Chain A
Amino acid sequence: MARLTLDALRTILVACAGEDDGVDLSGDILDTTFEDLGYDSLALMESAARIEREFGIALDDDDVNEALTPRLLLDLVNGSEVRAA
């Protein structure tokens, strides 16, 4: 399957939940918490739903909640198996 890149994640976050005016998403944000990036649990739920659709995978809500940074979320997504069609 295609891998979710940090750039693609940035695009999805902005499309799903907008962008905090005080945050620079373009920098090195891999290990910045989503909370510090201005994204709450609902923002991540909405973004996770988009990722599930685009990558054909299923993400457990609890796993998404525990992915506190972009790096952890990328690892979660890229370690997931594609659902049987």
Chain B
Amino acid sequence: MSTQSSTAAGASGRRVVVTGLGVTAPGGIGTEHYWKALLTGENGISELSRFDASRYPSRLAGQIDDFEASDHLPGRLLPQTDVSTRYALVAADWALADAGVGPDAGFEDYDLGVVTSTAQGGFDFTHREFHKLWSQGPEYVSVYESFAWFYAVNTGQISIRNTMRGPSAALVGEQAGGLDAIGHACRTVRRGTRLVLTGGVDSALDPWGYASQLAGGLVSTVADPERAYLPFDAEASGHVPGEGGAVLIVEDADSARERGVERIYGEIAGYAATFDPAPGSGRPPALGRAAELALAQAGLTPADVSVVFADGAGAPDLDRAEAEAIGRLFGPHGVPVTAPKALTGRLCAGGGPTDLVAALLALRDQVIPATGRTARVPDAYRLDLVTGQPREAALSTALVLARGRHGFNSAIVLTTHRP
């Protein structure tokens, strides 16, 4: 092990641990359903069923199809929430319950912060209100449109529902934003807030939201749900958009111990974000630098890392760039790498947080989930990619990577918690 001189605890001496998880993802809502789906290779990607996509060039999505909002949320919240906010609120409820946080847990309102990320906002809600605007007139548009679309709405709604009045924020960084939110939550804890609820969700599978995602040009046009999203595969053809995400409870380790928390999933030992140089500058992308900085903050070196959860864009040039970044840090075939999001699609702001949950459960169960249906990795990538079946391994430290469109890079280092 390397020196601990510049660890994530930093000057405050505070260590940040994860004490609660909540997941709403394609293939499994609820943390253990999600984890089981990853380990059994259940594919959450299927033909879109939300609307008739027959005239779209792509017709696949990672959809949550076993979620009835009224089973989980009070009636007052339904007319004012987009589907993405409903996922966020329910995942938040589950994460808080998992961490044993409730009215009797001994917290003051201001001890509890909320930091979330969503990159797409309330597309489905807004699509319906826009339809009313153009077909019936402005007086038909819901007053709740004023915030239901908004990037900060999940932070706000979770804060109101659970009376969490501590330092709160919303971060947007496309697919990297979910890790940025978690990183900022850790910073908030180190600055003295006892507990922060954090994570990210997205959903944009209505006709307008889906068209917007296709307009980005990175969505696969392969029609077979088993072949459309193959990160690091020789036949990688783009990605499939998915919906959902994850919420985590992060706490000051001492505070968690004092309140008698029995289960700690792991410690967030390092976080860093970088931004890519402008196209044409000739300088390399900065994903690897984000990983180096996160490891440095954790006081660890690449040799300490037991598994990498990759961004796994599923586009050949992006896959190659990520493989090169990993190779530079760890050497050829130097560390097991996986991208279990191949089974859910890319969840945008929800992607990083669900990967973080998967990484924590991998540390818990000492097993690495496989990269969906990816089977043939180009030799030139020199990656030790976990494919086909989950791989049992001795795991103590995980590196989670995420990239957002147009240059966002984020990395988080997780370790098994040792009090």
Mutual binders A and B: yes
Which chain A residues have a beta carbon within 8 Å of chain B's beta carbons? Answer: 14-21, 38, 42-43, 45-46, 49, 52-53
* B142 touches A (CB below 8 Å): yes
Residues of A within 8 A of B139 (CB): 49, 52-53
Whole-angstrom distance between the Cβ of B55 and the nearest chain A Cβ: 33
The answer on a CB contact under 8 Å between A18 and B74 is yes
Whole-angstrom distance between the Cβ of B74 and the nearest chain A Cβ: 5
B residues 104-161 touching A (CB-CB < 8 Å):
139-140, 142-144, 146
Residues of B within 8 A of A46 (CB): 79, 142-144
Residues of B within 8 A of A19 (CB): 75-76
- Could you tell me the distance between the alpha carbons of A38 and B75 in the complex, rounded to whole angstroms? 11
- Could you tell me the distance between the alpha carbons of A7 and B78 in the complex, rounded to whole angstroms? 21
Residues of B within 8 A of A21 (CB): 74-76
Residues of A within 8 A of B366 (CB): none
- Could you tell me the distance between the alpha carbons of A18 and B355 in the complex, rounded to whole angstroms? 35
The answer on a CB contact under 8 Å between A18 and B78 is yes
The answer on a CB contact under 8 Å between B75 and A18 is yes
* B301 touches A (CB below 8 Å): no
Residues of A within 8 A of B140 (CB): 49, 53
- Could you tell me the distance between the alpha carbons of A20 and B80 in the complex, rounded to whole angstroms? 13
- Could you tell me the distance between the alpha carbons of A49 and B146 in the complex, rounded to whole angstroms? 14
The answer on a CB contact under 8 Å between A18 and B144 is no
With both beta carbons as reference points, the residue of chain B lying nearest to A41 in the complex is identified as B143
Highest count of chain A CB atoms <10 Å: which of B76, B140, B142, B144: B76
Considering the complex of A and B, which 4 residue pairs feature the smallest CB-CB distances, nearest first? A18-B75, A19-B75, A18-B76, A46-B143
The answer on a CB contact under 8 Å between B143 and A42 is yes
* B77 touches A (CB below 8 Å): yes
**Apart from A18-B75, A18-B79, 20 more pairs, CB < 8 Å:** A15-B79, A17-B80, A18-B76, A18-B78, A19-B75, A19-B76, A20-B74, A20-B76, A21-B75, A21-B76, A38-B76, A42-B144, A42-B146, A46-B142, A46-B143, A46-B144, A49-B143, A52-B139, A53-B139, A53-B140
Residues of A within 8 A of B74 (CB): 18, 20-21
- Could you tell me the distance between the alpha carbons of A16 and B80 in the complex, rounded to whole angstroms? 9
Contact check: which of B77, B143, B146 meets A18 at CB < 8 Å? B77
Whole-angstrom distance between the Cβ of A49 and the nearest chain B Cβ: 6
Residues of B within 8 A of A15 (CB): 79
- Could you tell me the distance between the alpha carbons of A15 and B142 in the complex, rounded to whole angstroms? 11
With both beta carbons as reference points, the residue of chain A lying nearest to B76 in the complex is identified as A18
Whole-angstrom distance between the Cβ of A76 and the nearest chain B Cβ: 18
Residues of A within 8 A of B78 (CB): 18
B residues 283-338 touching A (CB-CB < 8 Å):
none
With both beta carbons as reference points, the residue of chain B lying nearest to A23 in the complex is identified as B76
Contact check: which of B77, B79, B146 meets A16 at CB < 8 Å? B79
Highest count of chain B CB atoms <10 Å: which of A14, A15, A20, A46: A46
Whole-angstrom distance between the Cβ of A17 and the nearest chain B Cβ: 6
18 A-B pairs with CB atoms under 8 Å apart are: A14-B75, A16-B79, A17-B76, A17-B80, A18-B77, A18-B78, A18-B79, A20-B74, A20-B75, A20-B76, A21-B76, A42-B80, A42-B143, A42-B146, A43-B76, A46-B142, A46-B143, A53-B139
Whole-angstrom distance between the Cβ of B147 and the nearest chain A Cβ: 9
- Could you tell me the distance between the alpha carbons of A52 and B78 in the complex, rounded to whole angstroms? 22
With both beta carbons as reference points, the residue of chain A lying nearest to B70 in the complex is identified as A18
Residues of B within 8 A of A52 (CB): 139
Whole-angstrom distance between the Cβ of A47 and the nearest chain B Cβ: 9
Whole-angstrom distance between the Cβ of B72 and the nearest chain A Cβ: 12
With both beta carbons as reference points, the residue of chain B lying nearest to A46 in the complex is identified as B143
Whole-angstrom distance between the Cβ of B287 and the nearest chain A Cβ: 42
- Could you tell me the distance between the alpha carbons of A46 and B78 in the complex, rounded to whole angstroms? 14
- Could you tell me the distance between the alpha carbons of A46 and B132 in the complex, rounded to whole angstroms? 14
- Could you tell me the distance between the alpha carbons of A5 and B78 in the complex, rounded to whole angstroms? 25
- Could you tell me the distance between the alpha carbons of A14 and B79 in the complex, rounded to whole angstroms? 9
Residues of B within 8 A of A45 (CB): 143
Residues of A within 8 A of B77 (CB): 18
Whole-angstrom distance between the Cβ of B418 and the nearest chain A Cβ: 44
With both beta carbons as reference points, the residue of chain A lying nearest to B140 in the complex is identified as A53
Residues of A within 8 A of B76 (CB): 17-21, 38, 43
